Amino acid sequence: MSNQRNMRQAVAAISVSAALLSGTSAWAQDTVDVKVYFYEGCPKYVDNWTVDVTKNPPQKVRWTAYDLTGSKQDKTATYEIYFDPFVGPGNTDPNQDGVILSKPVSGSVPQNVAFKYSIVAPNCAALDPIIRVL
């Protein structure tokens, strides 16, 4: 009888934890996904304007290019991610098939600060969303 009660308590604890994590899904994974929507080779908008990432544990951001409707991945999109105009794209992996992956958030980055980043494509206006480090 005691084992059944312990099992029910464990299942209840797992259910509560799952509910909490589903509300903060970015915290539950090491990579946060952002869809970048392109039209005629230019980035037009992202599905998550303010991306929340944690530095402990350090998370990465993965940007994936899509057509304007979001119905299919745009594997031919040419773009770069800039976190700072003086740093350039060195803090991300190269664009492969429309996907760019950042390095993990550095432990030296201040918490609870929002940073502008830029999505840059040739001959297009830059798109400047936000990354917030929690």
For residue range 83-104, what is the model confidence (pLDDT) as tens digits?
Answer: 754 455 566 777 889 999 988 8
In a domain, 6, yes or no: no
In a domain, 5, yes or no: no
What is the mean pLDDT of the segment spanning 53-65?
A: 91
CATH code for the domain of 60? 2.60.40
Task: Output 25 or 76, whichever has higher pLDDT.
Answer: 76
In a domain, 18, yes or no: no
Q: How much of the chain exceeds pLDDT 90, in percent?
A: 49
Between the CA of residue 16 and those of 12, 20, 23, what are the distances in Å? 6, 6, 11
Beta bridge partners of 120: 80
Quickly state the pLDDT bin for 105 (edges 50, 70, 90): confident
- Tell me the pairing of strands 118-120 and 99-101: unpaired
Number of domains within the chain: 1
Q: pTM higher than 0.85 for the full model?
A: no
In a domain, 112, yes or no: yes
Q: Which domain holds residue 39?
A: 29-133
- Tell me the pairing of strands 99-101 and 50-53: unpaired
Task: Output 120 or 91, whichever has higher pLDDT.
Answer: 120
